[in-house]
Amino acid sequence: MKNIKILKNIIIDKNELKNFYNSIKHKAKNYIETHPKNKKNPYLICVCKKCNKTYNGHKFIRRLERYKNYQITELIEKLNYITKTDKPNWPTIWIYPPHFLLPPHKDFARNNSIIIPITPTKQKVIIYNEKLPIVNEKLEHNENYIEEEYTYDEDHPNVLNTKDKIHGVLNGKEERIFLNFSGYCEWNDI
């Protein structure tokens, strides 16, 4: 687990997060991907219908702080040392439909991603070897290059090294809902 850090000092109230999501799920909006400026960089992805033929839509709910939920407020405060930036940085709930594919990629806008599963509780991320081949100027899932397949801890925040590691998601047959924070501190400072 060299690419994931579990923040054991923070305990998640799973029922509160589920109840919170259920109270605001009607606010979910379709996610519209903006095209990367450097389309030749195979580590950047676009998941819109035009660029990704496997696109089947995913949704999000942003600006969660406005709902004044105690669990969200507490997490914002406790994770501030990782998420602090000079711009507003609020958590997001992501909703991936069944069989959603998030292609292998690296994040260039943040250093790490903090994931807290809401439902189902067993959610995985795939970490790929740096030798994952580039096919048609992009990265594609390839079982032979999986370095690590990780099931997120459901009781504590999980921090994934998204800037340095190629990662992706092959969602199963259930809708996947998770809370996500963007992190900007260096990996070794977590």
**What percentage of the chain exceeds 70 in pLDDT?**
86
Is 176 part of any domain? yes
Residues 6+ apart with CB under 8 A from 175: 95, 96, 97, 98, 119
Give every strand in the sheet of 124-128, ordered side by side. Answer: 101-105, 166-170, 124-128, 146-151
Secondary structure (3-state) at 44: coil
Residue 78 located in a structural domain:
yes
In a domain, 138, yes or no: yes
* Residue 40 amino acid letter: K
H helix count then E strand count, the chain: 3, 13
CATH number at residue 162: 2.60.120.620
Does 38 map to a domain? no
Which two structure tokens, joined as six digits, stand for 148?
Answer: 């690590």
What is the number of domains present in the chain?
A: 1
145 in helix, strand or coil? helix
Whether residue 13 lies inside any domain: the answer is yes
* Residue 186 falls inside a structural domain: no
* Domain range for 133: 4-31+45-181
**What was the pLDDT predicted at 4?**
95
10-31 b/e (C-beta count within 10 Å ≥ 16 → b): eebebeebeebbeeeeeebeeb
Q: How far apart are CA 2 and CA 116, in angstroms?
A: 18
- Tell me: the pLDDT tens digits for 39-52? 566 666 665 566 65
Give the separation between CA 39 and CA 35, rounded to whole angstroms: 8
Q: Which residues pair with 169 in a beta bridge?
A: 102
Please report which residue ranges of the chain form alpha helices under DSSP H. 14-24, 70-78, 80-83
| 40: in domain | no
Which range (6-10, 38-42, 147-151) has the least confidence?
A: 38-42
> pTM for the whole thing?
0.88
Which residues lie below 8 Å from residue 51, measured CB to CB, with a gap of 6+?
33, 35, 45
177 in a structural domain: yes
**pLDDT 10s digits, 152-189:** 999 999 999 999 999 999 988 999 999 999 999 999 99
pLDDT value at position 39?
A: 59
